[in-house]
Amino acid sequence: MRTFWTMLGAAALVLGASAPASALSYVINDPRFGGAFIAGCPTEQYCGNGIQNSANDFCRSQGYAGASNYRTDAVRARGSAYHIATRSRCSHPNCIMFTQISCSSQAARPAPPARPPAPAYQPVRVNRPNVNGVVLDWCVYWGRNCGAQAAYFICQRLGYRGALNWATHRPGRTLVMGSNQLCQGTHCLGFSYVTCAR
């Protein structure tokens, strides 16, 4: 349990934070959400001001007003960080993760928009993507290229640039797309939907 003196001491450690003197800050090293490290960018396709947005989202999820400061690391992130906005694994070769976030009881600066401006087109949601009625597995190959890579594979096969988000379920039978194998049983994980973008 955090005490007032712990938070006040942590506030003194935040170097370069732009929060007002009356704001309390709490420094969180190697912040995690749901047990996973947090990717700096909110989605695979968008970063821009997104690093501050992701830090703010994390702090808000912990009951704070926003983030006053943060530190990132690119080397440790590959394959171990998740995008907080989409709850998906960061598979980009230049993925960065937070090593430290300073959460403030007052917003340090106005947060930029949480999402990039909406494009002129609308994303397309594909419910229960399937081939001949068999739901597509969440891996491209048996036990490999799962999650984001499989969602991208589906969207690209449908003529879209990539996947924005997706969800999974256990339908009992799935088709492993890359190897054209059937998975049968309660352990088989397939897509309940994939949202594709142009």
50-65, pLDDT tens digit by residue?
A: 778 788 888 887 788 8
Among 67-71, 99-103, 107-111, the range scoring the smallest mean pLDDT is 107-111
What is d(CA 184, CA 182) in angstroms, rounded to the nearest whole number? Answer: 6
Provide the pLDDT for residue 32: 79
pLDDT given for residue 158 in this prediction: 85
Of the given ranges (58-62, 107-111, 137-141, 190-194), which has the lowest mean pLDDT?
107-111
* DSSP for residue 1: -
Closest to 130 (Cα-Cα) out of 187, 161, 174:
174
Nearest to 54 by CA among 89, 18, 91, 83: 83
- Supply the pLDDT for residue 51: 79
Please tell me which residue, 39 or 192, carries the higher pLDDT value: 192
| Contacts (Cβ under 8 Å, ≥6 apart) of 101 | 27, 28, 31, 38, 55, 58, 59, 67, 69, 70, 71
Q: How many CA atoms lie within 13 A of 78 on its CB side?
A: 3
Is 194 or 87 the better-scoring residue by pLDDT? 194
Q: pLDDT value at position 169?
A: 94
Average pLDDT, the chain: 75
